[in-house]
Amino acid sequence: MQIPDFPITSTAPISSAFLAKGLKTFVEAADFVGKLPYGRNANKSDLTTVFNDNCGTCSTKHALLKKLAEENGFHDLKLFLGIFKMHAGNTPRVEETLARASLDYLPEAHNYLKYKGQVLDFTFGKAVDEPFFLKDLILEIEIPANAITAFKVTFHKTYLNTWLEENRIPLTMEQVWAVRERCIAALG
C-alpha cells in the first residue's frame, strides 16, 4: 500500500494544528488520525474539532486529511463517499442491531480517501490493503471536504429511500434511520 507523503509546510489552520502536535509529514498526520478513537464530533463543519474532541468519524478524519493535503498543495489525494452493505460480516458490532430490525444488511455511507486508485481508510486505525467495506461497496462518488455534512446525509437518505422502496422493506425512512443510528452507536 502506498500512502502519499509530503512535508507539512503550510501555516493554514489544519496544517498548523498538526504542526502544533509535532507532526511534520502527511504520513505522521495520517498515522495520528488513524489512531484516534472512533467517535462523533461536536462540529463537523469545523474539521479542527477532531483535535478538540480527540476522536473522529470516517467523515471528519478523511475530510481533515484531504484538507491537510490541499493546504500543502498536494492535489492527488481524493475524498470519496461510498455506499456499502453494512452487515455482521464486515462490521461485527452491528449484528445484534440488524437482527433486531430483521435486516441482513443496511446500506451505509462511508468516507475514505483514494491515492492513485488505491483506497486509504483511516477510520479505525492504520490503512490496510483490503478495507473492511470494499467487497460490499455498492457505489462511490468523489466529493469535496465540505460535502461531509448536509450533502452526505441527503445523498445517504435518498439512497435509503430508493432501497426501501425497491426491496419492499416494511420500514419507514425514520425507522431505518433509527436502526442506522443504533448501528453507529454500536461502533463507538
Neighbours of 33 (CB within 10 A): 22
Distance CA 76, CA 62 (A): 14
**Beta-carbon count within 10 A of 88 CB:** 15
Crossing angle of helices 173-187 and 150-166, rounded to 10°: 120
Residue 62 contacts residue 122 (beta carbons within 8 Å): yes
C-alpha cell at 120: 486509504
Which residue type is seen at 166? Answer: E
Q: Minimal CA–CA distance to 40: which of 13, 58, 67?
A: 58
The identity of residue 122, as a single letter, is F
Is pLDDT of 1 > 90?
no
Q: Residue 112 pairs with which residues in a beta bridge?
A: 80
Residue 40 corresponds to which amino acid?
Answer: R
Q: What is the pLDDT confidence band of residue 187, given thresholds at 50, 70 and 90?
A: confident
pLDDT for 127 beyond 90: no
Rounded to whole angstroms, the Cα distance separating 170 from 151 reads 26
- For the segment 146-165, what is each residue's pLDDT rounded down to a tens digit? 999 999 999 999 999 999 99
Q: What is the mean pLDDT of the chain?
A: 96
pLDDT band at 188 (very low <50, low <70, confident <90, very high): confident
**CB-CB contact of 121 with 127 (8 Å):** yes
